[in-house]
Amino acid sequence: MTPSSSPFVEALRDVAAWLADLPVPSTIIGGVAVIAHGVPRSTVDIDATVLAAGVTPEQLIGAAARWQIVPRIDDAPGFARAHQVLLLRHAPSSTPIDVSLAWLPFEESAIRSGTSADVHGVGIRIARAEDLVIYKLIAARPRDLDDAEALLITHGATMDIARLRRVIGEFAEALDEPGRTDLLVSLLARTGHA
């Protein structure tokens, strides 16, 4: 990633402080969490998720201002309500920050079962590796699939593979995209966890 004094690390420090100060649970997901789980990769943004019940996009934006975290689009609250993601940026470093608004039982479980990690001296809460694999397979972009595979290689022996199959199967059915299950089956076979 970057040295401990970099603008990105300053952004991560401010995001961690903001999230810790919120009245709702949260956790870091995305590239930073993947890195914290020991997968070598780089990232230029910060992805987080917050339990959406009990907080509005406006409240999140208001609380973020203390750490110079600001909306990066016009009508960020309206976009967040429509798409369940709040698009922000850390003004001093211009680091993009995407905050997913979590409503689903899986998301709540992932937030509540997050673990503590240290990234370049910044204490953060990150999603478990198993939950990150699920997030990555739901997004299913090429980078996400690479991350899912790397997480399975690194942590697959300690993951609940039956749970992965069940949760991905539920999402595949809800999204009417059976290919999500096929992606998991392929990754499990390639990483020796079939």
Using one digit for the tens of pLDDT, what is the confidence trace for 115-151? 999 999 999 999 999 999 999 999 999 999 999 999 9
Rounded to an integer, the average pLDDT of 67-72 is 98
Rounded to an integer, the average pLDDT of 65-91 is 98
Rounded to an integer, the average pLDDT of 75-87 is 98
Distance CA 194, CA 171 (A): 19
pLDDT of residue 163: 97
101 contacts 129 by C-beta, under 8 angstroms: no
DSSP code at position 54: T
Is the pLDDT reported for residue 1 higher than 50?
A: no
Is the pLDDT reported for residue 160 higher than 50?
A: yes
Task: Find the distance separating the first CA and the last CA of the chain, reported in whole Å.
Answer: 32
DSSP code at position 22: S
Q: Is 53 helix (H, G, I), strand (E, B) or coil?
A: coil
Distance CA 131, CA 108 (A): 11
Confidence of residue 54 (pLDDT cuts 50, 70, 90): confident
Domain range annotation of the chain: 1-127, 128-194
CATH class entry, domain 1-127: alpha beta
Mean pLDDT, all residues of the chain: 95
Rounded to an integer, the average pLDDT of 161-169 is 97
pLDDT of residue 117: 97
pTM of the model: 0.93
Distance CA 135, CA 180 (A): 11
pLDDT of residue 101: 98
Phi/psi at 101 (5° precision): -90, 115
pLDDT of residue 4: 56
Is the pLDDT reported for residue 3 higher than 70?
A: no
29 contacts 45 by C-beta, under 8 angstroms: no
Distance CA 190, CA 42 (A): 23
Interhelix angle for 161-175 vs 179-190, to 10°?
160
CB atoms within 10 A of CB 140: 14
Q: What is the dihedral of CA 123, 124, 130, 131, to 10 degrees?
A: 170
* DSSP string covering 114-159: -EEEEETTEEEEE--HHHHHHHHHHH--HHHHHHHHHHHHHHGGGS
Cβ-proximal residues to 138 (8 Å cutoff; 6+ apart), any chain = 168, 171, 180
Is the pLDDT reported for residue 61 higher than 60?
A: yes
Rounded to an integer, the average pLDDT of 39-58 is 96
